[in-house]
Amino acid sequence: MQFRIPTPLVQEHEALHSRLVLATKVPGPVGRVANKLAKLMDPHFTKEELFALPPLVLLPALAGGKFSPEMSGVLELTDQLEIELPGMLAEHQKIFGVLQELLAAGETAGDTATCEFAGQLMHHATVEEQVFYPAALLVGHWVKEHTGRT
């Protein structure tokens, strides 16, 4: 069974990535800080897209009480997320620090678009920490319970 990231999350990641690419091309401090951010974000987004977000595709089925044995394939992803989560949360802390730098650079430059982007990315990371990651782990726990795995 394929576990694809839900389309709205794919679209959100693509939009954030596109906006980050634009920010890296801004001359001066905004561009320099945006490039620093991109170096942190690229490997982080890759991890999310490999194993943190794909389990979320099962939420509608599981919430509807539907289960099939092939769903157990998601456990490879959720087990990996459980292992990687402390490091991913530490990455978020580094990202938040650079986002503060980006916000300051945007404010100094009078670049409201960059300031708004920094705020959007902070919000996105907070939603990941408080909703997406726990939901993905919950998918794994639910599937383990229903397959008799511990």
Would you state the pLDDT for residue 79? Answer: 97
For the chain (150 residues), the mean pLDDT of every run of 10, in chain order, is 93 96 96 98 95 97 94 97 98 98 97 96 97 98 88
What's the rounded Cα separation, in Å, for the pair 84 and 51?
9
Would you state the pLDDT for residue 148? Answer: 82
Would you state the pLDDT for residue 150? Answer: 67
Would you state the pLDDT for residue 149? Answer: 78
Would you state the pLDDT for residue 17? Answer: 95
The model's pTM is: 0.93
